[in-house]
Structure 1
């Protein structure tokens, strides 16, 4: 079976053509085209030649391999797309709070024009949800050379006020309260919440729920450096395993 069906379906997608519109180009019935695309039928040689000539695609390319979108775009001007024609994933545009805009954010966090003017991160997240980016600017979330350092970026998902008390203890959150924007771990108490730093020399911050203006649960982190992926113990264990393998091979 050839790749003709898959390739004409991809061409339709690139050009934004319906089955009927594509079929009309080559005097085919829509049902016949559907059979080609589903692999239930193979086209006549005349049809293959007409499609190949129309889009300036070699017959061999059309029949023997599944073509990529990039390949299709290189074949012929008839497949050159305007940006509006391309089918793209919808990425979320996440407003990002930087060190320079933190003080202004505390004052204007509920001002839509200000939020829209913040720099945006385009990320493969659910665009239906509300996210906020934040550039780390202190060492509060570090411990034993691990954790979040200045210039790292965290991405938080909006937490409704009714859900704050339901978050698991230890969840990392970005909390806007009073005159501060705080990145710490959340712990619930009967009287409110406690925000605790990973840095052991810092005191807890106790807050009443009514003083929380916004809360964002940290979902993603972008490190400014390569994070440590293994411990010294794991490295030593891997080295010993390699030596054992070499001994067995001898």
Structure 2
């Protein structure tokens, strides 16, 4: 028996699904699946990937960690989220930082859990960041000054929802809003409130079930040294917007 065999049996029992039903979900015969569970045959990569996606955990977790000793309910329970990420290392054995460029951004929403896609991303190294899993994401728009379009936000992967701190900034990968960089607050039971530092942009909520990944801000990489005028512009826009609201309110009265 192998750790992998024990894991897939434990996960199947926990999910209360039969071997026959699971085999059907994986697109294989029950006889073939049974061999993986009793340890007489090794699952190929395509089956490992299907199992990881089915249970919403990573291949790393299936192969190297005893899932019976992990309280999965304590980890970030987000639909289609992986508990561990595909990790790249350099020749020295150090973690590298994958950078999602503007060109690669569109593919990230479907490829974030695909090791082949992650491997195709550009890579950098920032030794001062220390331990953790980091990734770089492109900035879009002017909602979070002083970060501008073309800058890269480097974030540290957040595994537990409880680790999200009110008032801190995060990169969120979401189903309905795509990739966003906002200041978060957990003052809603089943959702997060997303706030822009540029007051021109209104706050909005994202339900936990819409979130695929969360990355906490660690540093930014930019190419401009001009004075920050965006915050002042945002305040002006905010005042104009507030004035329009007051005018509309008076008209209704």
TM-score (norm 1): 0.49
TM-score (norm 2): 0.49
Q: Which of the pair is proportionally richer in strand? A: 1
